[in-house]
C-alpha cells in the first residue's frame, strides 16, 4: 500500500517539475518569438479594416451605378 502512495507522490512531483519546465520554455519562447513582438494581431486588424472598406466602396459604387442607370433608362423610356 505504501508503494502506491509513493508512486502517487512521485507522479505529482514529476508533474510539477514538467509544468514548471514547460512554463519556463514557453516564457523563453515568447521572449524570442518574432510574431509576439511584431504585433501581428494589430496589423491584421488594420488589413481587415482596409479590405472591408474597399469592399464596401466597390459594392456602394455598384449600387449607385445601377440605381443611376435604372433612373436614366426609365427617363428615356
Task: List, for residues 67-76, the tens digit of each pLDDT value.
Answer: 999 999 999 9
Cβ within 8 Å of residue 30, ≥6 positions away? 36
What burial class does residue 1 get, using C-beta atoms within 10 Å of its C-beta: 0-12 exposed, 13-18 middle, 19+ buried? exposed
pLDDT of residue 69: 95
pLDDT of residue 74: 93
pLDDT of residue 3: 55
The alpha-carbon radius of gyration of the chain (Å, integer) is 31
pTM of the model: 0.50
Which residues does the chain have with pLDDT short of 50? 1
Q: Which three cell numbers stand for residue 45?
A: 486588424
pLDDT of residue 28: 92
Amino acid at each position: 500500500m505504501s508503494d502506491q502512495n509513493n508512486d502517487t507522490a512521485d507522479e505529482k512531483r514529476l508533474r510539477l517539475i514538467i509544468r514548471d519546465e514547460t512554463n519556463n520554455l514557453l516564457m523563453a519562447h515568447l521572449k524570442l518569438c518574432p510574431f509576439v513582438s511584431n504585433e501581428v494581431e494589430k496589423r491584421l486588424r488594420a488589413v481587415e479594416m482596409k479590405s472591408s472598406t474597399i469592399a464596401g466602396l466597390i459594392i456602394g459604387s455598384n449600387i449607385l451605378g445601377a440605381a443611376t442607370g435604372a433612373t436614366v433608362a426609365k427617363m428615356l423610356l
